[in-house]
Structure 1
Amino acid sequence: MKRSHRSDHERGATLLSVLLIIVLMSTAALAATDALARSVSVSRVSASRADSFWATRGALSVGETFVNEVLAKTDGALTPDSLLFREPIVFAYSRGTISVRFYEATNCLNLNALSLGDDEASAGSVSPDQFHRMLEGAGLFNSEAQHLVDSLSDWMDADTSPRASGAEDGAYGGRAIPHRTPGQRLVSISDLRAIDGFTPDVMNEISNLICVRSRSDDAPLNINTLTADQAPLLAARFSDELSTSEAEQLILSRPEGGWLNVGEFLLSRDVASIAPELRRDSALSIRSDQIGAAISIASDTGTIRIDATYGRGTDGIYVLQGSNRRSG
């Protein structure tokens, strides 16, 4: 009986050992499976990101090619009915579809071209009065418009003395996130969110009239693609003698197919009465020097949205000038 009891005990110990080994092997197998799953997931994410990167590069390249193909036939001349603006380009790639919609990006007042003073470093092709007049034309009160002009000027100029309605370091030091004025031109349109006076409501009123480009980039307006709500822009950039309402009427009465040239525009009744020395004819054109593209890349992992800008060089060729990812 004692021998039998020992055998049962040994068999029990052996069974426990086997069970322990099975548990350890199962745990190791689960860990290996989990690691493999994570590895596969990481590989899929990496592959998706790589595909998105190349899809973006491809979309930007296709956009540049299409812009040049279309505008080569018209030497850059554009109207709202141009082929470029009719329908977006849609094409497939390995993980989904890409859509490229083009829009006019020429017609705006470049805030980096704002003149900040008389010295060479502060000079600009857009006067504070032009900017002020455009803001008033957009519906802002005189005092509100002056505050925006002065605040923006103080933000960009090199000194620390605030203008009459402006804001220098002292105005920003007490904010929830204190900061200083940078004393340099804007990097992007989003910089305006940090400048005193440029509230969301104000931005909604003027976003279709302004842009941020290099300081020297003050492209003429394309009179054939201006929209009625951009009348303040036309009035401010062309002549102080042209009212916003007159500018709006000019745009609304534009000939079908657009003006043949700037000379024909200058013969319009409300324009012909303005003395040549009171006009800025060089601010107008029938060509578009800047074309924007809204790119959407849709895949099984979501949608990437990108804004791109193509600029016209002195040789007439449009090249990609910049792109950035946007939300929404």
Structure 2
Amino acid sequence: MMMKAKQHKQHGAALITVLLVVAIVSVVAVQLGTQLQNHVSRSSSAYQAEQSYWMWLSAEEVLSEVLTQELDANDGIPHLKQAWATETGPFQLAGGGQLSAAVRDLHSCFNANSLAGGEQDESLKELRIKQFTALMVALDIDAYQAQRLAHALSDFVDSDLKLSAQGAEDADYESLPLPYQTANSGLLDISELRLIRGFSAEIVDKIRPLVCVIPNNQELTININTIDLDNAELLVGMTQGNMSVSAAEDVLRGRPEKGYEEISTVLSEGSLGSLKTETEGGLSELTVNSQFFQLTAFLKWKDSEIQARSVLQLDGKHTTVIYRAMGD
């Protein structure tokens, strides 16, 4: 009886040991399965992100080709009836991808970096401040607030630390709960306006259709052929408020279908012609040519969705991507 009891206990212990081993193996198997699943998921996400990236670069190549061909066919003059301005998608791609795109002529909007005014050129800086202020007033922003915003932007992007009358320099930003300093150099992306005193999300959203950033460029040239009719306030800004929004809309409605071939034609007739001699700077910023374009691509590849932006610079038949960014 003693032997049977002892054997029974041994069998019981062995069974418990086997059950423990099975339990441990099961836990390890579950952990390995989870790790494998996570690895596969990460690999899949990485693959989808990589595919989206290559779709983005392909979109740049297509835009480069389209711009080069269309501008070459129209003596280098872009206008809003060309494919780059009208073909937005969505385009279905091989393998299940989808691409939507929007292309913006960066000469159909006010380059925020132009408020730097050029090196040591105070008169040009003051002119840009007047124009930017007039643009914001045309967008129903209070005149005093518009002046403060224009001066703050100018102080942020110019190369000196000299505080303008209504502007903001390092001391204004260093006293914030999360302190920082002014860039004292140009912006790279329109989203950076939120760093500048007074540029709330509401203000940035309001001016975004008419204001843009050309990276590493302080020039302001506005292509009369590519201004959207809904953005007529841009012309009001260029005339420093000497033109009404309705008059600016009339100018844009009067454009030839394929755009003006010479800016002299625009400046010798109509309301712009009469304002040329009355406006500081003589509307010298107006042109019929464009050099910088921005591609905003909305990419979807299976479960991966990204928004990406590229700035392309055209030089004759050559195109160079000078800036890339992902996100809103």
TM-score (normalizing by structure 2) = 0.82
- What is the deviation of 1:298? 1.0
Cα distance change, pair 281–96 in 1 and its aligned pair in 2 (3 A)? same
Cα distance change, pair 14–240 in 1 and its aligned pair in 2 (3 A)? closer
- Gapped runs of 5+ residues in structure 2? none
Cα distance change, pair 219–93 in 1 and its aligned pair in 2 (3 A)? farther
- Quick check: 1:138–1:232 contact (8 Å CA) kept in 2? yes
Cα distance change, pair 148–2 in 1 and its aligned pair in 2 (3 A)? closer
Aligned residue in 1 for 2:40: 40
SS in 1 for 2:50: helix
- Quick check: 2:115–2:218 contact (8 Å CA) kept in 1? no
TM-score (normalizing by structure 1) = 0.82
Aligned residue in 2 for 1:177: 178
CA RMSD of aligned residues (A): 3.3
**What's the CA shift string for 1:21-77, capped at 9, x where partnerless?**
333333333333333323322322332233233232223223322332333322332
The share of aligned pairs that are identical, in percent, is 25
- Quick check: 2:98–2:300 contact (8 Å CA) kept in 1? yes
Bigger CA radius of gyration:
1
Alignment coverage as a number of residue pairs: 326
**How many angstroms apart in 2 are the aligned matches of 1:301 and 1:275?**
54
- What is the deviation of 1:251? 1.4
- Quick check: 1:219–1:289 contact (8 Å CA) kept in 2? no
**What's the CA shift string for 1:262-320, capped at 9, x where partnerless?**
2332342223434659564642233332322221111221311112222221x243332
Aligned residue in 1 for 2:194: 193
Aligned residue in 2 for 1:289: 291
Give the letter for the 1:103 counterpart: R
Give the letter for the 2:299 counterpart: I
Aligned residue in 1 for 2:150: 149
- Quick check: 1:309–1:322 contact (8 Å CA) kept in 2? yes
**How many angstroms apart in 2 are the aligned matches of 1:56 and 1:288?**
23
- Quick check: 1:130–1:237 contact (8 Å CA) kept in 2? yes
**How many angstroms apart in 1 are the aligned matches of 2:122 and 2:211?**
22
**How many angstroms apart in 2 are the aligned matches of 1:46 and 1:300?**
12
Aligned residue in 2 for 1:302: 304
Cα distance change, pair 229–144 in 1 and its aligned pair in 2 (3 A)? farther
Cα distance change, pair 87–125 in 1 and its aligned pair in 2 (3 A)? farther
Aligned residue in 2 for 1:84: 84
Give the letter for the 1:28 counterpart: V
Aligned residue in 2 for 1:101: 102
- What is the deviation of 1:238? 5.7
Aligned residue in 2 for 1:55: 55
**What's the CA shift string for 1:219-276, capped at 9, x where partnerless?**
5322122234433322443687655543332113334443343233234222343465
Cα distance change, pair 75–2 in 1 and its aligned pair in 2 (3 A)? same
- What is the deviation of 1:147? 1.2
Give the letter for the 2:52 counterpart: S
**How many angstroms apart in 2 are the aligned matches of 1:120 and 1:164?**
17
Give the letter for the 2:310 counterpart: A
Aligned residue in 2 for 1:24: 24
- What is the deviation of 1:123? 6.8
Cα distance change, pair 25–211 in 1 and its aligned pair in 2 (3 A)? closer
SS in 2 for 1:52: helix
- What is the deviation of 1:92? 0.9
Cα distance change, pair 122–36 in 1 and its aligned pair in 2 (3 A)? farther
- Quick check: 2:117–2:124 contact (8 Å CA) kept in 1? yes
139-148 or 154-163: bigger deviation? 154-163
**How many angstroms apart in 1 are the aligned matches of 2:253 and 2:298?**
32
- Quick check: 2:117–2:125 contact (8 Å CA) kept in 1? yes
**How many angstroms apart in 2 are the aligned matches of 1:171 and 1:264?**
46
